[in-house]
Amino acid sequence: MIGRSTKPTIEVEIVGPGLAAVRESPGRGTGRPPEADRLDLSLGLLAWGVHRTNEGEVRAVADRIRELASAVAASDDGRVPEGTVRVATRTQGVVAVQLGTWSGDRGLTRVKAEIAHSSVGPVPLIKGSPSPGMLVLAGLCAVMDESERSDAAGRLALALALEGLIAWYGESHRMTPARDAVRSARSYAVDRLRSAGHDLPPCLWDAPA
């Protein structure tokens, strides 16, 4: 568990070059399935990362998200090919990022997000002031972790939501709140699944009215 927060929370820990770990706490939830909160947290990390990225670098970030979305959609067991997520290091060049075990070392770099309640519904918020690049990396790691947790239906929804996030920022909506990108990404996935005659997996369910 993460501290004593009552809010759904996710933390991504950068253990070392090419190694990260993810942990999450459902808190008291938002009235939706835990999968829906985890999806919003993963999307929220990415949305905040894109939101804070310099305009000239947004396309490269979108390409990284698109590559991961394709790998998630194609995966039979939730794991994506090594090297799908990469990071540039000072000493080793560009290395593949893998998920490892949470270390608990307080000296490591961590990125934390939580879901807050608001008048417009659940909203993912970032704790602290991580750099845009660190937010994007944390979001990609969170997506890898969620892919490994999900069944085939959940992975398809996750991949489509990532497509929706890319589409949102492809239309130059970076001046709008990151929460709008998350809602748009969820709506995109819902529309795509319903148009294909698929049932919605728990990660796309809303809270009961």
Q: What is the pLDDT of residue 30?
A: 87
pLDDT tens across 16-45, in order?
A: 889 999 999 999 888 899 999 999 999 999
Q: What is the pLDDT of residue 28?
A: 87
Does any domain span residue 95? yes
Q: Which residues contact 15 (CB under 8 A, 6 or more apart)?
A: 21, 100, 103, 105, 108
Is the confidence at residue 209, as pLDDT, over 50?
no
Domain enclosing residue 142, as ranges: 9-195
Is the confidence at residue 120, as pLDDT, over 80?
no
Q: Alpha-carbon distance 36 to 154, whole Å?
A: 10
Is the confidence at residue 200, as pLDDT, over 80?
yes
The residue written with tokens 């939101």 in the block is: 51
Does any domain span residue 208? no
Nearest to 152 by CA among 80, 86, 204, 76: 76
Does any domain span residue 201? no
What total number of domains does the chain contain? 1
Is the confidence at residue 136, as pLDDT, over 50?
yes
pLDDT tens across 66-113, in order?
A: 999 999 999 999 999 999 999 988 888 899 999 999 988 877 889 999
Q: What's the mean per-residue pLDDT of the chain?
A: 91
Q: What are the φ and ψ backbone dihedral angles of 19, each rounded to 5 degrees?
A: -135, 130
Q: b/e map of 181-204 (b: 16 or more CB within 10 Å)?
A: bbbbbbebbbebbeeeeeeebbbb
Q: Could you tell me the two tokens for 94?
A: 């560009």
Q: What is the pLDDT of residue 192?
A: 97
Is the confidence at residue 177, as pLDDT, over 90?
no
Q: Alpha-carbon distance 47 to 72, whole Å?
A: 18
Q: What is the pLDDT of residue 17?
A: 83
Which pLDDT band holds residue 181 (cuts at 50, 70, 90)?
A: very high
DSSP-derived secondary structure letter, 54: -
Q: What is the pLDDT of residue 208?
A: 56
Q: Report yes or no: 11 and 23 within 8 Å, Cβ to Cβ.
A: yes
Q: What is the pLDDT of residue 88?
A: 87
Which residue would you say has higher pLDDT here, 122 or 62? 62
* pTM reported for the whole predicted model: 0.93
Does any domain span residue 200? no
Which pLDDT band holds residue 1 (cuts at 50, 70, 90)?
A: very low
Minimum mean pLDDT range among 2-6, 35-39, 86-90, 167-171:
2-6
Does any domain span residue 207? no
Q: Report yes or no: 35 and 42 within 8 Å, Cβ to Cβ.
A: no
Q: What is the pLDDT of residue 5?
A: 64
Residue 113 in 3-state DSSP?
strand
